[in-house]
Structure 1
């Protein structure tokens, strides 16, 4: 009976967020606590559905560590987290026949810019050369040479906005079982593309990136390859191997793996121009929104907490107030000082406080407000798609003039409506809704608003990539550099 070790470590960071993340940002599931993900739309949940359906498999859950997107993980935080993960693996790895590791791929720590590569190298050292290791990855991850040298197989998200978490885990789980039972000899080809991308063309349901992903799915489904994906990295994770890249895995056929990886990379490259953020100046967006009868969304992708931003941008609120925009505005902001003041005063009280600029003060000057406390909560909710718990800490709903603002104490993912709903607010009751995420699932906003404005605003996750100040990633890199010659080539990994 094959024994399978299960490990998870997931976080995405923005190197341009001034607030470091810490060990306490992580939700840790130890041993059998990982079974709490049964039935959830997570990679672990998907893998468990495969493993537990196999009567001859014994599972050895080791540890799961998951954190919301944030700034660079601190030195102390990384040392404690990595030690705990590797200690858990070491105590459980004896006698296992295969290993599944669920990763994001866009981590970064102070002193270790390839945390996933570090963990996989240590796990491979403990496992020895013969035990297969399969990983799953977010398509926004950065798969490094060091990671590829440790693994035998992979599965990569195929959707953005992401809805196929569990499906990716299922694909990884099936691959690991096939390796153990069928004698697959995996070959992985990697084609690096010197481009960072952002924008609406990355929406896989409608964009040109989705057309390329469907080609990856076709060659998986028709048996040409075992696995294929195109990882676009997280352009805000400034690390040495940040890039876009094609990954193709075959059963021993190096030629097919190379050809398909290079073909897809060659098809991606001419479309890099389309795959850039198309931003509208904030003043123009306000002027246009003021003439639209139906509801509109202001997308504040520059302060997207799910991409690693601090969440304390008040740029849109300030501009709307300055322009005297008169319709009903709904927004969210991370500001523990304002949330604490509201909790101290109580529901119904009027308070004088500031909003924004709590963490990223160089970008955002705090905005004074006189507001009424409409509602107080513990800031707990669940993501709509993944059903994973959110904990934003003490949270308050403040109102002033025509503004309703949900004030959070901690940054959590805001790529759905969970934190609005859990604080008694329905976005459809408002005229202008601020969304701190580059994209959401279509039905959440785009299916019913008149217009979604992708705002050009400052922030740690701005789609204006040249404005961020990359200093570590390889150069030349489009669009940071313009004149780049590119001929697709690939590197083959075969353990």
Structure 2
């Protein structure tokens, strides 16, 4: 029976977030805690564990560190985290046949710009050149030369929005099992000098989805072990940031290279389509006033899921100043306002300054509000079935504005933060979405 180590280290950062991340942002799980936590969740490790169980593989859980997206991680805190991971993994290497390491790919520190590559390099140094290491990454990850050098292959998300985390874990597990059975993975990477955004990246409907479906068709071929088209996180400002085509073939470097070149060429051909149609805030507010149904304002540059602070009030300022009369629903990361609301109590009317509590580039918005709900910020993300820890929360209402304030950054990738407060977005005229 094969014995496989599992570990995870996941965070996505924005280099432009002025708030430095810390060790305390991470949820740490050791040993069997990894198995317990991921059971029944829509996560990579859950999918991988299902495959390993079906294949009668003996799993050795080691260490997991996962944090919400944020600013660059403090270097000393990363060194502490890395030491814990390596000290947990290293003693088990001699008894294991291979390792699956679940990564994001867009992690970053105040000094080390490729922390995931560093971790893989240190594991490889201890494990030796012949020890199989397979990783998984978000398609917004930035796969580096060092990551490639110290791993044997990888599985990459195939969906945006991301709904295939467990499937990615399953594909990574199958890849590792193939390597243990004798497959000889060779990885081809073709870098594309393009950063892309916008609705054409939605894989179910956009042109990017055509490239992804070609990747999926490749993975059905017997000599292709994995394929993906990574687009990086534009906010992770590191030297190897780019889009890149990745193909893993079985002992056939020419096949891997040719298919990666095909993917890259197709992606490059459509690059102009994969840019957002931006509208000025003033024009957006004017357009919104012409519609009666729900209107979505996408505040993608302030998406906590991409590492932003989540405390931009630019859209709220514009809507308030314009006299827009429709019912507005918006999330906001604002710990001072949330704590003030908790101190005042349910039903209180208070004066708050909203926004800019983390990023001083945003001038606070002065409002008189009513505290209509208070919460502890504990809820499940409906997309991934993972717990969210938003800290003390408050729903604040001022005329036509309903603002859900959280005190800790959480991904606003779906309706979860609203549903957790029994607010249904469709009952509003305009919803601010802080998601890319």
Query: What is the TM-score with the length of structure 2 in the denominator?
Result: 0.98
Q: Does residue 58 of the first structure (1) align with residue 66 of the second (2)?
A: no
In the alignment, the residues of structure 1 paired with residue 208 and residue 119 of structure 2 have an alpha-carbon distance, to the nearest angstrom, of 30
Corresponding residue for residue 398 of structure 2 = 400
CA contact (8 A) 1:313 1:357 kept: yes
Deviation at 1:108, TM superposition (A): 0.3
- Whether the 8 Å contact between 1:38 and 1:49 is mirrored in structure 2 is no
Contact residue 39 and residue 46 of structure 1 kept, 8 A: no
**Superposition deviation, residue 273 in structure 1:** 1.1
Instruction: Give the alignment of 1:237-316 within 5 angstroms.
Output: 237-316=236-315
Contact 1:13 1:108 in 2 (8 A): yes
Task: After superposition, give the CA deviation of every residue in 1:218-254 in whole Å (9 maximum; x if it has no partner).
Answer: 1111335211111100010000100000111111111
Give 1:62 shift.
Answer: 0.3
Shift of 1:59: 0.8
d(CA) in 2 for partners of 1:322, 1:91: 61
Offset at residue 104 of structure 1 (A): 0.4
The count of residues paired between Structure 1 and Structure 2 equals: 435
More deviation, 97-106/214-223:
214-223
In the alignment, what sits opposite 1:359?
358
CA distance in 1, matches of 2:124, 2:272: 39
Cα distance in 2 between the residues matched to 1:167 and 1:225: 17
Matched residues in 1 for 2:407 and 2:399: separation? 23
SS in 2 for 1:280: coil
Separation in structure 2 between the aligned mates of residue 212 and residue 223 of structure 1, nearest angstrom: 19
Structure 2 residue matching 1:333: 3-state secondary structure: strand
**RMSD across aligned C-alpha pairs, in angstroms?**
0.9
**Equivalence map 1:147-158=2 (5 Å):** 147-158=147-158
Displacement of 1:138 in angstroms is: 0.4
The alignment partner of 1:7 has SS state of strand
Residues 7-18 of structure 1 mapped to structure 2, 5 A cutoff: 7-18=7-18
Query: Which stretch of the first structure deviates more once superposed, 33-42 or 158-167?
Result: 33-42
- TM-score relative to the length of structure 1: 0.87
Query: 1: CA distance between counterparts of 2:228 and 2:320?
Result: 44
Shift of 1:94: 2.7
Give the whole-Å Cα distance in 2 for the aligned partners of 1:359 and 1:168: 34
Q: CA deviation at 1:139?
A: 0.4
Shift of 1:88: 1.1
> 2: distance between equivalents of 1:356 and 1:91?
47
Q: Give the superposition deviation at 1:39.
A: 2.1
Q: In 2, are the aligned partners of 1:327 and 1:432 still within 8 Å (CA)?
A: yes
Contact 2:223 2:250 survives alignment (8 Å) = no
Are the equivalent residues in 2 in contact too, given 1:379–1:392 (CA < 8 A)?
Answer: yes
Q: Per-residue deviation at 1:93?
A: 2.3
Note the residue ranges of structure 1 that are not aligned, 5 or more in a row.
439-495
8 Å contact from structure 2 (residues 190, 264) kept in 1? yes
Single out whichever of 215-224 and 253-262 deviates more from structure 2. Answer: 215-224
Q: CA deviation at 1:174?
A: 0.9
